[in-house]
Structure 1
Amino acid sequence: MPILTLASHSLHYRIDGDGEDKPWLIFCNSLGTDLSMWDPQAEAFSRDYRVLRYDRRGHGLSSAPPPPYTLADLGQDVLALLNALAIRQTHFCGLSIGGLTGQWLGIHAGSRFGKIIVCATAARIGTAEGWASRMDAVRANGLAGLTAATAERWFTPEFNAAEPAAVAKVLGSFAATSIDGYVGCCSALAGADLRGDIGRIENSLLAISGADDPVCLPADLDAIAAGVAHGRHVSLPGRHIVNLESAAAFNATLSRFLEGRT
């Protein structure tokens, strides 16, 4: 099991695809999930890319340093992983807090990245007050009681009914997330506001929204695409975890963008 040990925590990661001549593509998961949320993408893209996935601090098999965390902490974790693996440059795809991490990286370390894809995210997700309430609730009651509401926010009723095993797998990783890791990332979200900074991103950027996402609206992704130098927005059927709900369309859209066909 590949583990990168850092000063305060460890990061679990996985590489799919081989061949030193292939470009790198990293996927960054959403709050309360692990790297398995990208299984359909890893399978599709590992033929042409070296696909790197990792569990964010406090998620999956990565350890959880004591909270609070900042968005800069999450971005620096990505850079530490790239440095440890001697990856000079990679494309980046992140969803929700992963997409916010991608924006931070584009602002502060754009030369380390080729194309950037941000999905179901915003330059400012929620409010500090809302995240403070979420942290209080999770500290008091844990995550298990949030799973039903999470299923509704993350997937349409049609997908919940048609793909119960896929939904159950995602919700299982949600419930298994460490409290410190979840609260720490909530604190990062509470303090993150990149609306005044995304204009500094020079990378080609694709923003992908879920058309029915109640968490990060399509308008949020449209604002990101409009706010960077080279941005485009595509909306696909589904809610927040759009890479799973519209996996085939998501993969096709991502492939066209990476290959410069859109």
Structure 2
Amino acid sequence: MPVIDSHGCPLDVEITGPTEAPVLMLSSSLGTTKHMWDPQMDAFNAKYRVVRYDRRGHGKSGVPKGPYDMEMLGRDAIAIMDGLKLDKINWLGLSMGGMEGMWLGAHAGNRIDKLILSNTSAHYADKSMWHARMNAVGKAGSVASIADMVINAWLTKDFQTAQPGTAARMKEMMIATPVDGYLGCCAAVRDMDHREILKNIRVPTLIIAGSKDPATNIAAAELIRDAIPGSKLAIVEAAHIANVEIPDEYARVVLDFLGSK
């Protein structure tokens, strides 16, 4: 797995799939690593050269002191594209990965063939939730302090009961996130406002929303769809980390869009 330097921050990158296939680049949720996408890798690798990575502050990537912002995180993605000599990619980002995708679509649309923005939001008008979350993590010195609350937004109660091992692995992934990295990324989400740039996205775009997602609801997805010319909205029966909760259906929705004209 290569390590790509982005403005002094090492980013851990994994590349799989056929060498000559079109590239699908994956960006995950706050508090997860590239392994969030494990449920889709067989399906994606069958048709695409898949690039996934740990964003700064997460997994095996560097943890520079925050705060971070969306431009910084978007430029990390561009640094990976440049480092791997990728002129164009398809982008699939979930939650925070979708926020990065909006920035990329508006500022580096020439690098993107198709854009998928999953379980995400363009803006948080009420910052109090982010302040409270950051205060709790900072005071405790661990992401474990909010893990129970967050996992209940990530995955429905029914899924957690039916698939306790998967739910436990997702919770462990969250708790392992370095505090400085988590707080740095929380600041980026808290301060983000993509509403004015959405109209500048001109690449084919799909928005995926979970009908049971309390973190980024259907109204947030509809706002993005209405602002991006020609974009489409797919609603799936899942909570926030939709790709983990409904892995096969999620892969089908993504691949159908990527394969469409």
Moved over 2 A (4+): 5-8, 125-130
Q: Identity of aligned pairs, percent?
A: 36
**Higher deviation after alignment, 233-242 or 141-150:** 141-150
Amino acid in the other structure paired with 2:218: P
1:131-142 paired onto structure 2 within 5 Å = 131-141=130-140, 142=142
Q: Indicate yes or no: 2:188 matched with 1:188.
A: yes
Counterpart of 2:199 in structure 1 is 199
Query: Is the CA contact (8 Å cut-off) linking 2:136 and 2:145 kept in structure 1?
Result: no
**Higher deviation after alignment, 165-174 or 112-121:** 165-174
Query: Is the CA contact (8 Å cut-off) linking 1:125 and 1:216 kept in structure 2?
Result: no
- Encode CA deviations 1:172-229: one digit per residue, 9 max, x unaligned: 1100000110000011111100112101100111000111100000111121111101
Counterpart of 2:172 in structure 1 is 172
Provide the TM-score with structure 1 as the length reference: 0.96
In angstroms, what is the RMSD of aligned CA positions? 1.2
- The alpha-carbon deviation at position 9 of structure 1 amounts to 1.5
Counterpart of 1:143 in structure 2 is 143
1:92-103 paired onto structure 2 within 5 Å = 92-103=91-102
1:23-38 paired onto structure 2 within 5 Å = 23-38=22-37
Query: Is the CA contact (8 Å cut-off) linking 2:136 and 2:146 kept in structure 1?
Result: no
- The alpha-carbon deviation at position 47 of structure 1 amounts to 1.2
Counterpart of 1:44 in structure 2 is 43
1:1-262 paired onto structure 2 within 5 Å = 1-20=1-20, 22-125=21-124, 127-141=126-140, 142-260=142-260
Return 5+ residue gaps in structure 2 as ranges. Answer: none
SS of equivalent residue, structure 1 residue 230: coil
- The alpha-carbon deviation at position 164 of structure 1 amounts to 1.0
Amino acid in the other structure paired with 2:245: E
Query: Is the CA contact (8 Å cut-off) linking 1:34 and 1:173 kept in structure 2?
Result: yes
SS of equivalent residue, structure 1 residue 140: helix
For residues 258 and 5 of structure 2, the distance between their equivalents in structure 1, rounded to whole angstroms, comes to: 31
Query: Is the CA contact (8 Å cut-off) linking 1:27 and 1:53 kept in structure 2?
Result: yes
Provide the TM-score with structure 2 as the length reference: 0.97
For residues 72 and 191 of structure 1, the distance between their equivalents in structure 2, rounded to whole angstroms, comes to: 11
**Higher deviation after alignment, 235-244 or 122-131:** 122-131
For residues 187 and 147 of structure 1, the distance between their equivalents in structure 2, rounded to whole angstroms, comes to: 18
For residues 190 and 145 of structure 2, the distance between their equivalents in structure 1, rounded to whole angstroms, comes to: 21
For residues 94 and 125 of structure 2, the distance between their equivalents in structure 1, rounded to whole angstroms, comes to: 15
Query: Is the CA contact (8 Å cut-off) linking 1:226 and 1:232 kept in structure 2?
Result: no
Return 5+ residue gaps in structure 1 as ranges. Answer: none
- The alpha-carbon deviation at position 8 of structure 1 amounts to 2.7
SS of equivalent residue, structure 1 residue 32: coil
